[in-house]
Chain A
Amino acid sequence: MQTDRSSFPVWLWYALLCIFWWGLWGFLSKIGSGAASPLQMQILFTLGMLPVAVGMLLQMRWKLDRNRGGVAYGILSGVATGLGTLGYYAALREQNASVVTPVTGLFPVLTVVLAFVVLRERLNKVQLGGMLLALASIVVLSI
């Protein structure tokens, strides 16, 4: 990981920014979920993402990175997220959200295991403790 003398690395700013945007997404979804079905919301989310993609394309002056691996992982990421969300909605049809959401909230465990095996990433002891606390908080906040 890129570190420097600064105690607040750049990547952390982006992580906090992401938490803000996704937190706002969760808030708006909460407002919308009263009137729209999860599948209708999923359609609207997809359409709503288009202006961001177009904005990025304009910023890049249409010079899109076309590395084959990058393109494949990018598209797979979108499909996996979308399909995973459909699986989550399907589980919600059979069980209460207070049970399903804390369970599905454990997905970062799999990412950490895969990053350990595939990317050979290693967490220090503090980060491992932090991950356990974060997982506990995800479960508690989802109930």
Chain B
Amino acid sequence: MHWMAYASFAIVLWGVNGLFMKLGTNRVSARSMVIWVTAGFLVLLPFLLKVTTLGGLSAGMIFVGLIAGTVNGLGNWAVFACLEKGAKASVAIPLTALYPLCTVVLATAFLKERPTTLQWVGIALAVAGGAMLSYEPATVVTSPEEQAQCVR
């Protein structure tokens, strides 16, 4: 099959997933969503284990993979909490998709990788895009007491 077919498959599932995340957090807490999403990942585990095993991996590499999964789970909790606190899916999903920016920063700091000119452009675009996505015109939330005073 053509690579674009597989890529489109990923785009559709990840794109629809953004909607599932918002619809889910509208109904259950962020913490509960973490648990149900993990259950969703576990559904796929038997199929993955049929195709491959963890044989041949060093203990260190298994540890790195497990820690990566743990921080991924913490990221899931944070994005669900973000949606739970009222963020629009159309803001939260593009905003959190900027995480490669953080990866580039960490790789620069710890792997001594130097960002290329193109990556610097990407970093600048991400910072500007993130700031603009986060922009909400200030609105005044009035308490019921304040609203009653206005009526009076």
| Chain A positions near chain B (C-beta within 8 angstroms) | 1-5, 7, 9-12, 14-15, 17-32, 35-37, 39-53, 56-57, 59-60, 64-67, 69-71, 73-88, 90-91, 93-95, 99-100, 103-116, 118-119, 121, 123-124, 126-127, 129-143
Contacts and interface: CB of A to CB of B under 8 A. Distances in A.
Given A25-B68, A121-B90, A80 B100 contact: no
Contact of A19 (B43, B57, B102): B102
B98 to A, nearest CB: 6
Given A1-B136, A64-B35, A71-B28, A43 B107 contact: no
Contact of B18 (A70, A87, A108): A108
A89 B49 CA distance: 16
A77 B102 contact: no
B96 A51 contact: no
A28 B38 CA distance: 19
A134 B126 contact: yes
Contacts of A4: 141
Given A79-B40, A88-B6, A111-B16, 7 more contacts: A24-B103, A48-B67, A74-B39, A84-B11, A114-B15, A137-B125, A140-B118
B27 interface: yes
Contacts of B128: 130, 133
Contacts of A115: 18-19, 22, 88-90, 93
Contacts, number: 459
B71 to A, nearest CB: 5
Interface in B123-150: 123-126, 128-141
Chain A CB within 10 A, most for which of B1, B17, B105, B141? B17
Given A127-B91, A131-B129, A78 B41 contact: yes
B74 to A, nearest CB: 4
Which 6 interchain pairs have the tightest Cβ spacing? A78-B40, A48-B69, A23-B102, A74-B36, A110-B15, A130-B132
A32 B60 CA distance: 9
B48 interface: yes
A18 B130 CA distance: 13
Contacts of A22: 71-72, 75, 96, 99, 102
